[in-house]
Amino acid sequence: MKITVKVPATTANIGPGFDCFGIALSMYNKVTLEELVYPDEGLEINMLAGENEKSSSVNTIPTDTNNIVYKAVELLYNYVGQTPPGLKINIEANIPIAKGLGSSASVIVGGILAANRLLGNPADEAALLSIANEIEGHPDNITPAMLGGFIFSSAEEDGSIVYRKIEWPGEWKFILCIPDYELATSISRSVLPEKIDISDAVFNLKRSAMFVEALHAKDPELMKYALDDRIHQVYRSRLISGFSRMKGELKNLPDVLGTVISGAGPSVLVIYREDSGFEEIKSNLTAIWQEIGIKALIKNVDIDTKGAVII
């Protein structure tokens, strides 16, 4: 039996929602699990680079039991009291790696959903989210990757994931800027302070509340305020060349709602109203990247509302 799962990229944090907010985007990885039939046995993992993943990082990903997809599959099998059979795992990596777009969350979700189908769907949504988060450690990526749309989520002390999904206004669009260098999440997190001032914490609480209300009310002016942050972007921006300048210059365009770091970076996400010209925004971004000598892919992406799909 062979199962293939298509899973979207994700952008997390989105300004004030550090480790909480996440959106599924229209870029996809595919994970295929095939149960080997006797006399075949063991584990075979194949990494396939898709259209958007051109880096050499694909070649550095483990293809043995240390692979995160296999670890996720093994954890699910153990959850139901079984050990994995001989498996062939194909991973089509079309989401750029180490770019702040949830590539690891995507393949973890794909592996778990495929394994669950192979087993006859013994695990429900709550168990699947909990198991996926145990491997990934970031529910703001795992949850939208599995369920699609905009989601705010929290990993609780008992391992459960509490989340809510809110409709994203159709007229609010995304431009994704993906520079040609990588930034490991571990490095991006290492620059964050262990403690923050209470004034900064309160600032982000207020902006997070504004964010949720801006979505409910479809209020672009409120969203412009809501996308500010004092907890992570002020520190991570030092690792992302040109980010502060992009944010400042694009703020002057009337239909740009905001510019944020995607996840841990280095990708940058611009949120804008559809009546604003994509070409004008792209021209501004291109000029900044070129001036600092960095190549970048700049493209429109849509919100993915379905999440992971078995195909």
Number of folded domains that form the chain: 2
Q: Does 253 lie in the same domain as 186?
A: yes
Q: Does 112 lie in the same domain as 45?
A: yes
Q: Does 67 lie in the same domain as 40?
A: yes
Q: pLDDT tens digits for 284-301? A: 999 999 999 999 999 999
CB 311, CB 7: distance < 8 Å: no
Q: Does 280 lie in the same domain as 160?
A: no
Q: Does 97 lie in the same domain as 66?
A: yes
Q: Does 196 lie in the same domain as 64?
A: no
Q: Does 49 lie in the same domain as 26?
A: yes
- Which residue range is the domain that position 295 belongs to? 172-301
Q: pLDDT tens digits for 55-81? A: 556 778 888 899 999 999 999 999 999
Q: Say how far apart CA 183 and CA 264 lie, in whole Å.
A: 8
Asked whether the predicted pLDDT for residue 226 surpasses 70, the reply is: yes
For the CA atoms of the chain, what is the radius of gyration? 20
Q: How many CB atoms lie within 10 A of CB 171?
A: 12
Q: What is the mean pLDDT of residues 223-227?
A: 97
Within 8 A by CB and 6+ apart from 273, the residues are: 171, 172, 173, 220, 255, 257
Q: Does 228 lie in the same domain as 148?
A: no
Q: Does 180 lie in the same domain as 142?
A: no
Find the CATH number of the domain harbouring 49: 3.30.230.10
**Token pair for residue 118?**
């192979």
Q: Does 138 lie in the same domain as 49?
A: yes
Q: pLDDT tens digits for 127-181? A: 999 999 999 888 999 999 999 999 999 999 999 999 999 999 999 999 999 999 8
Asked whether the predicted pLDDT for residue 310 surpasses 90, the reply is: yes
The C-alpha angle with vertex 176 and arms to 264 and 90, in degrees rounded to 5, equals 75
Q: Does 192 lie in the same domain as 295?
A: yes
Asked whether the predicted pLDDT for residue 52 surpasses 90, the reply is: no
Q: Does 161 lie in the same domain as 178?
A: no
Q: pLDDT tens digits for 76-118? A: 999 999 999 999 999 999 999 999 999 999 999 999 999 999 9
Q: pLDDT tens digits for 230-252? A: 999 999 999 998 999 999 999 98
Q: Would you call 229 helix, strand, or coil by DSSP?
A: coil
